[in-house]
Each structure stands twice: as structure tokens, then as C-alpha cells.
């Protein structure tokens, strides 16, 4: 297709809105950092802020929308996660004066496999997301979505493609939490 036609098409279609910060609607991306740096808690708080209809999170604007979140925690067992979430829910509900938003925040329980590696498990994951009807899905964490070493470029490429295709097929925003390798007291270096 000629570039001129693509440019015209892009200019006639509506822009894809940002949900929050650098997260665009119907996109796929990562929240990453060292272990125990608060990635999961930040994602939970962001998700709760979205479904509660807050206008900002961590000083950045949230685009108003009808958000429904499915939080797929493959790392942490449901009970300790739920105990932490109860405190988050109480704080947010008291702040806004209601807990009606809870109907749009869903989590998995112990019936979902803790590893999604086989084709059958991927089909189960897709079915779960479809049935839930969420438009934002957060998966904790990348390390539970493959078998082998993510350093293998073929594995990483195939996994990223699989996640991108899942995002497109289900028309969702997909956020994957990823743990960087242990830094042993060193900051993440961008060089």
C-alpha cells in the first residue's frame, strides 16, 4: 500500500487514547523492575484507580473510561494477595465514599494454573479473559508464561508475538509484570 494512503488513513481514524502515563488503550507492554520493588502493588493500585474512576494516579492523569480489570496473579497465592488487597480496597473506598467499583475488578483463584506454558494452558488463559470481559488484563509475571530461558531470543520473540496477538484478538490492554535479574545492590543501568 502506498505510504500516502496509510498516512491519509491514519489521519482519518481517531487517535488511540492513553489510559495512564505511557499505557495506550489496546496496547501490550511491561512494567518491570527488580524483585520486591513494588511492581505488583503499583499495578494493583493503578487497576483499582482505573475501575474506581479516579482522575489521576501518582500525579499523572487517568483518561476517563469504562474500565474492567482482570488481575491474573500467577506468582502469589490468592489468600495473601487478597489480604493485601482488602487494605487497598478499604483505603480507596473510604477515599471516594463507595465500593461500587469492586464489581469491575476481578482476580483469579487457585483453580487457574500457576504456569501458562502449554498450548492448552494458553487456550484456557484466552478463554478466561474472554469470559471475564475485561478490557485491561494484568499478568504477574512474565516468568510464568514460558518454559526455558527468556534470554533465548527465539523464545522471547515467540512469546512477545503470542502476547501481542492475544492483545489484538481480544481487543484488550495487556500489562505484563516482569522481574529484572537480581541487581545485587546495583541500580538498573540504561547504558
Please say if the pLDDT value at position 135 is more than 80.
yes
- The phi, psi pair for 39, rounded to 5°, reads -60, -45
Distance (Å, rounded) from C-alpha 128 to C-alpha 120? 12
Decide: 50 and 19 in contact? Cβ < 8 Å: yes
The whole-number pLDDT of residue 183 equals: 53
pLDDT in tens, 98-126: 999 999 999 999 999 999 989 999 999 99
Give me the helix-helix angle, 119-132 and 153-170, nearest 10°: 30
pTM, entire model? 0.90
The whole-number pLDDT of residue 191 equals: 52
Strand order in the sheet with 173-179: 28-33, 173-179, 136-140, 69-73, 105-107
The whole-number pLDDT of residue 149 equals: 82
The whole-number pLDDT of residue 35 equals: 87
DSSP string covering 24-92: ETT-EEEEEESTTSSHHHHHHHHHHHHHTT-SEETTEEB------EEEEESSS-HHHHHHHHHHHHHHH
Q: How confident is the model at residue 190 (pLDDT cuts 50, 70, 90)?
A: low
Structural domains of the chain sorted by starting position, each given as residue range(s) with its CATH number in brackets: 16-179 (3.40.50.300)
| SS3 (DSSP) at 107 | strand
> Which range, 33-37, 78-82, 146-150, 170-174, is most confident?
170-174
Kindly report the number of other CB atoms within 10 A of residue 187's CB atom. Answer: 7
Distance (Å, rounded) from C-alpha 176 to C-alpha 69? 13
Decide: 137 and 73 in contact? Cβ < 8 Å: no
The residues, ordered by sequence, that sit 6+ positions from 130 with a Cβ below 8 Å of its Cβ are 170
Q: How confident is the model at residue 133 (pLDDT cuts 50, 70, 90)?
A: very high
Check the CA dihedral 126-130-136-137 and report its sign.
Answer: negative
pLDDT in tens, 16-66: 999 999 999 999 999 999 988 999 999 999 999 999 999 999 999 999 999
Distance (Å, rounded) from C-alpha 141 to C-alpha 97? 32
The whole-number pLDDT of residue 182 equals: 60
The whole-number pLDDT of residue 147 equals: 84
Kindly report the number of other CB atoms within 10 A of residue 58's CB atom. Answer: 11
Amino acid at each position: 500500500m502506498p505510504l500516502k494512503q496509510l498516512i491519509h488513513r491514519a489521519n482519518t481514524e481517531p487517535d488511540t487514547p492513553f489510559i495512564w502515563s505511557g499505557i495506550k488503550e489496546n496496547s501490550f507492554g511491561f512494567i518491570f523492575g527488580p524483585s520486591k520493588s513494588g511492581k505488583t502493588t503499583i499495578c494493583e493500585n493503578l487497576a483499582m484507580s482505573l475501575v474506581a474512576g479516579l482522575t489521576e494516579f501518582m500525579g499523572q492523569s487517568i483518561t476517563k473510561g469504562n474500565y474492567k480489570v482482570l488481575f491474573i496473579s500467577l506468582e502469589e497465592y490468592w489468600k495473601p494477595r487478597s489480604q493485601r488487597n482488602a487494605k487497598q480496597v478499604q483505603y480507596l473506598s473510604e477515599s471516594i465514599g463507595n465500593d461500587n467499583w469492586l464489581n469491575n475488578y476481578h482476580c483469579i483463584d487457585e483453580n487457574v494454573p500457576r504456569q501458562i506454558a502449554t498450548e492448552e494452558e494458553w487456550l484456557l488463559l484466552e478463554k478466561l479473559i474472554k469470559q471475564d470481559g475485561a478490557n485491561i488484563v494484568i499478568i504477574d509475571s512474565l516468568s510464568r508464561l514460558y518454559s526455558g530461558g527468556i534470554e533465548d531470543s527465539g523464545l522471547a520473540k515467540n512469546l512477545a508475538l503470542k502476547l501481542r496477538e492475544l492483545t489484538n484478538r481480544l481487543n484488550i490492554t495487556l500489562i505484563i509484570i516482569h522481574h529484572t535479574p537480581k541487581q545485587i545492590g546495583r541500580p538498573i543501568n540504561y547504558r
